[in-house]
Structure 1
Amino acid sequence: MQKSVRLKSFELVARNIDDVDVNLLHALSLGVGWPHRPKDWDLLRRAGHGIVAVDGIGRVFGSAMWFPHGNDFATIGLVITSPRTQAQGNARWLMEQVFERCGDRNLSLNATDAAYKLYVSLGFTKEAIGYQYQGDVAPVLPALPPLNGELSELSGDRLEEIAALDTRAFGVNRGKLLALLSENASIRVLRRGGEAVGYSMCREFGRGHVVGPIVASNDHDAIHLTAVHLKDLAGAFARVDTRETGAFAEFLQQSRLAVSETVTTMSRGRRFLNLKDNEPRVYGLAGHAVG
């Protein structure tokens, strides 16, 4: 594997992301218009692994991260190249470094429009479109469907109650990630007959708050699990990333969240998404990088 790459006048090497000043990572994401704050970068570095493309004097020209879940699967995210090297092969070189470190793992990622062709050329296949809804939450939410079950708060030390449910929805156990997200999140769980059938988290991110992950088996449950957070964010900036296009998406629109960007969920190896009717699935992503 090529350990360095020359892009015109830049000789770049891969450095462990943990060894790079978080303010340089923040500047990298700002340069491409991504909302990640330094504390968002810090959380993602705790959740996964990454490399950064740097030159001989420590300037940062790109990044890529991967988030292993178990021994045979990982999500890929934070693949960023500086504008000066975007058309010079930097992203492909970064992805080759990631492949080497991930070994035989099955992989998934959310591709921007600009990066889609690159990922196709690297063996990724399309599974779904993801929609980034965001905006200032309406002062009054739309009318909600009848609630089927009991909705209550869940403390971060009781994540075992939703662990099996999340694994069914996501496809693999991502307990480490949920534990990290829960440190500064508000968590709600929906129960029927005393059994957890859905949950949601809300935490600070970027310009405001993100509601996700959201796990539910149907639109009505997902709407309630989202509304319980949005009602506390009236007038504030919020974001929900989803692959849904039905009643759940309509609820987000009626709450004054609009689609600001779309991405393509792609996989390399086994297919990733579980979209079976009436089975738990991920209605709201934890984030573009981690799924």
Structure 2
Amino acid sequence: MTAAAYPVGHRDNEDVVLLPFARSHLEGALKLSQEMSWPYRIEDWDVALQLGYGFVLERAGTVIGTAAWWPYGDTHASAGMIIVAKTAQGRGYGARLMDALLASAHPRTIALNSTAEGITLYRRRGFVPTGVIHQHQGIPRQCHEPPRSGLVRSMATSDFEAVAQLDREATGLERRRMLDRLIRSGDGYLLQRDGIARGYAISRLFGRGHVIGPVIAETPTDARALIEAALADLGRRFARIDTSATSQLGEWLEGIGLQRVSDATTMILGAQSPAAGPARTFALANQSFG
């Protein structure tokens, strides 16, 4: 998907061309993220492209910039994977990619998680900070046991509608397509009380190991139970969890060996989606998908 109002295919005086993100760009995008020490695999780029839309900047056939966005219904979207090669930074290429992305996603409200370096670019386009995300990762210090409460079980195919509804109530977003893809490629966990879905988590291969997220729950205690169920299946394998600074999970995550390694600023352009609750987001699918 591209926006007719933006000059896709236009070449500047350095012979850099803006193109719709296609499968042929995956290898170039992977090399670009490796240059930035972002731990994406080619499979992670592929899933992102399957679920969303984006643009690349090419110079002489080499990808020097990427940006992508993912629609959640007709009113909202998330954006991410916004990268410019180190040798091409400072020349307005990030702005060029971002303007193409905004034109393509218009008129949706857009959320993203920004590095410190990107905040000025996004502020100039009207994004406002709304929170902070802490990235926790590492190998757990010991193997975990599944929660003994009996509240958490493995997710079944028949649970999808309940999970999608729970996610929509917690986030205010229509994310069925993303959830279906993540559940099919990972392991899902459902927390129930009195036969009613109250929380869920998904664990899947991503980056250096596994990412646990989204995690949707009503309380930090429930979120921890869902994460513990996922960790019990992972054993002492590398795990990553991206959680809000207000989640009340950070101290516990560090205590089990998942150290806080970086932060990102959540920013929004437009009206934030109303969430019905009472469940809320305790961990992201990743910092791009939200």
Q: TM-score, length-normalised on structure 1?
A: 0.92
1:201 alignment counterpart: 202
- Structure 2 counterpart of 1:20, which letter? S
Give the Cα–Cα distance (whole angstroms) in 2 for the partners of residues 143 and 101 of structure 1: 44
Q: Note the 1:205-284 alignment, pairs <5 A.
A: 205-245=206-246, 247-272=248-273, 279-284=278-283
CA RMSD across the alignment: 2.1
Aligned residues: 284
Q: Which residue of 2 aligns with 1:289?
A: 288
Aligned to 1:25: 29
In structure 2, stretches of 5+ residues that fail to align are: 1-5
Q: CA deviation digits over 1:32-73, x for unaligned, max 9?
A: 111110011111111101111112x31111000010111111
Shift of 1:272: 4.6
The letter for the 1-side match of 2:267 is M
Where in structure 1 are there 5+ consecutive unaligned residues? Answer: none
Cα shift at 1:116? 0.9
Which of 212-221 and 265-274 deviates more?
Answer: 265-274
In 2, Cα distance between equivalents of 1:156 and 1:176: 14
Specify the alignment match of 1:64 in structure 2: 67
Give CA deviations for 1:125-183 in whole Å, capped at 9, x if unaligned. 00000000001112145997x84x62111124531121111001121110000011111
Alpha-carbon distance in structure 2 between the residues aligned to 1:114 and 1:14: 22
Give the direction of change, closer, same or farther, for the CA distance of 1:247–1:75 in structure 2 (3 Å limit): closer
CA distance in 2, matches of 1:36, 1:287: 11
Please say if 1:133 is aligned against 2:136.
yes
| Pair 1:89-2:88 in alignment | no
Query: Residues 159, 90 of structure 1: CA spacing in aligned structure 2 closer, same or farther, 3 A cutoff?
Result: same
**What is the CA-CA distance between 1:198 and the residue it aligns to?**
0.1
CA distance in 1, matches of 2:261, 2:166: 30
User: 1:283 and 1:240 mapped to 2: Cα distance?
Assistant: 9
Task: State the distance in 1 between where 2:193 and 2:141 align.
Answer: 29
**1:58-112 deviations in whole A, cap 9, x for unaligned?**
1111000010111111101110110011211111110000111112111110001
1: CA distance, partners of 2:146 / 2:232: 12
The reply on whether 1:154 has 2:155 as its aligned counterpart is yes
Instruction: Give the SS at the match of 2:57.
Output: strand
**Percent identical residues:** 30
Please tell me whether the aligned partners of residues 51 and 64 of structure 1 are also in contact (alpha carbons under 8 angstroms). Answer: yes
Residue number among 108, 113, 119 corresponding to 2:111 in the alignment: 108
Distance 1:190 1:126 in 2: 31
Among 47, 66, 80, the alignment partner of 2:51 is: 47
C-alpha change, 1:226 and 1:19, in structure 2 (3 Å) is closer
- Indicate the residue corresponding to 1:78 in structure 2: 81
Distance 1:206 1:36 in 2: 5
4+ runs deviating over 6 angstroms: none
Query: Within 5 Å, which residues of 2 pair with 1:183-194?
Result: 183-194=184-195
Q: Could you say if the C-alpha distance between residues 244 and 194 of structure 1 is closer, same or farther in structure 2, counting changes exceeding 3 Å? A: farther
1:15 aligns with 2:19: yes
Which stretch shows the higher mean deviation, 135-144 or 224-233? Answer: 135-144
Conservation of the 8 A alpha-carbon contact between 1:141 and 1:255: no
One-letter amino acid matched to 2:69: W
**2:146, 2:228 within 8 Å by CA — same for their partners in 1?**
no
Q: 2:131–2:245: 8 Å Cα contact kept in structure 1? A: no
Check conservation: 1:47, 1:177, Cα contact below 8 A: yes
- Separation in structure 2 between the aligned mates of residue 43 and residue 67 of structure 1, nearest angstrom: 11
TM-score, normalised relative to structure 2? 0.92
